[in-house]
């Protein structure tokens, strides 16, 4: 998810690519594992995005984007004007914490932290901190449907959380034809599927949240170039938001100067 501090990004990238189910993998007892179909996209519209934002969480609500950023000392949550990319409101996260994913639930906004095993509860209108919650392991991303929250933690598992108590109620492992898909990062629930950025790749997985099966991939390598990002360092694709009422899907990346509304193209 993160980490400007890594000197071994290249190694991590190699590991991510080798285990991240991007490439077909040989399974014992099988010949070559199949992988889910890969679809593309078309750009509907391009918006400005703060190029200093180390984007960790993103969602859309009532005409605004809500974004969280990471890194110790640079983490914040904010309400962003989609058209201008500027903050309408923001709150700085204590530098002890590396901010991670966010999601709304009613009048509350929940935020994860990377390794502190603590999450924050804010009033979504004022950004006043009104509580905390805890969880074991790392926190990477959050999203929701109308019944529960979904949380990624950098592994191949998605946790289900009770939206009131924030306690885990279950989990599912994400696999593509039986191969675990690790480094699940930013999430968005879209029309019954979970979309997940795969950290340090140019792909989004489309996941059936009931089974964990990857039903398809979205290849966004072209957007990296379009955004003027390298995607070889920390400026990787991360951030998915969905405007259900307008059926608009938004994606961006860490430190990207642009945010895109895209439409998905069928797999070939
Ligand atoms: Ca999201």
CATH number at residue 242: 2.130.10.10
Going from the Cα of 143 to the center of ligand 1, the distance in angstroms, rounded, reads: 6
**How large is the average pLDDT for residues 118-135?**
98
Going from the Cα of 110 to the center of ligand 1, the distance in angstroms, rounded, reads: 12
Q: Is residue 137 part of a domain?
A: yes
Judge whether residue 75 has pLDDT over 70.
yes
Which tokens hold the place of 250? 């938004």
Judge whether residue 233 has pLDDT over 60.
yes
Provide the pLDDT for residue 34. 79
User: Which of these, 170, 116, 110, 108, lies nearest to 141 by C-alpha position?
Assistant: 110
The count of structural domains within the chain is: 1
Longest Cα–Cα distance of the chain, Å, equals 56
Q: What is the pLDDT of residues 175-212, one digit of tens each?
A: 999 999 999 999 999 999 999 999 999 999 999 999 99
Q: Is residue 231 part of a domain?
A: yes
DSSP letter at 10 equals H
User: Which of these, 240, 223, 237, lies nearest to 58 by C-alpha position?
Assistant: 240
Which tokens hold the place of 228? 């003027």
Instruction: Enumerate the β-bridge partners of residue 203.
Output: 219
Going from the Cα of 102 to the center of ligand 1, the distance in angstroms, rounded, reads: 7
Judge whether residue 52 has pLDDT over 50.
yes
Q: Are 112 and 119 in contact (CB under 8 A)?
A: yes
Residues in Cβ contact with 194 at an 8 Å cutoff, skipping those fewer than 6 apart: 143, 150, 158, 187, 188, 206, 207, 208, 209
**Containing structural domain, residue 68:** 37-265
DSSP letter at 134 equals E
Q: Is residue 28 part of a domain?
A: no
Q: Is residue 171 part of a domain?
A: yes
Provide the pLDDT for residue 29. 37
Going from the Cα of 82 to the center of ligand 1, the distance in angstroms, rounded, reads: 15
**How large is the average pLDDT for residues 245-252?**
98
Per-chain residues with Cβ under 5 A from ion ligand 1: 58-59, 188, 240
Q: Is residue 237 part of a domain?
A: yes
Judge whether residue 76 has pLDDT over 50.
yes
Query: What's the predicted TM-score (pTM) here?
Result: 0.88
Q: Is residue 103 part of a domain?
A: yes
Judge whether residue 116 has pLDDT over 80.
yes
Going from the Cα of 178 to the center of ligand 1, the distance in angstroms, rounded, reads: 25
Q: Are 194 and 184 in contact (CB under 8 A)?
A: no
């Amino acid at each position: 998810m993160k980490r400007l501090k890594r000197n071994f990004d290249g190694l991590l990238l190699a590991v991510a690519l080798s285990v991240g189910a991007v490439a077909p993998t040989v399974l014992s007892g099988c010949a070559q594992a199949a992988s889910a179909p890969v679809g593309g996209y078309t750009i509907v519209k391009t918006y400005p995005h703060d190029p200093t934002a180390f984007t960790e969480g993103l969602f859309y609500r009532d005409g605004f984007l809500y974004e969280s950023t990471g890194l110790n000392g640079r983490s914040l949550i904010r309400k962003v004007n989609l058209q201008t990319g500027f903050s309408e409101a923001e709150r700085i996260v204590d530098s002890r914490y590396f901010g991670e994913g966010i999601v709304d639930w009613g009048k509350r906004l929940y935020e994860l932290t990377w390794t502190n095993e603590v999450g924050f509860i804010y009033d979504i209108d004022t950004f006043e901190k009104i509580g905390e919650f805890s969880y074991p392991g790392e926190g990477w991303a959050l999203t929701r449907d109308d019944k529960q929250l979904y949380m990624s933690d950098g592994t191949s598992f998605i946790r289900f959380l009770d939206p009131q108590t924030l306690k885990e109620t279950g989990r599912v492992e994400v696999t593509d034809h039986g191969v675990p898909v690790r480094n699940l990062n930013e999430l968005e629930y879209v029309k019954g599927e979970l979309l997940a950025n795969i950290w340090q790749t140019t792909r989004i997985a489309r996941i059936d949240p009931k089974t964990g099966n990857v039903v398809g991939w979205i290849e966004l390598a072209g957007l990296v170039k379009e955004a003027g990002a390298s995607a070889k360092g920390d400026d990787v694709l991360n951030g998915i938001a969905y405007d259900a009422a307008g059926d608009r899907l938004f994606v961006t990346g860490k430190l990207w100067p642009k945010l895109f509304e895209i439409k998905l193209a069928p797999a070939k």
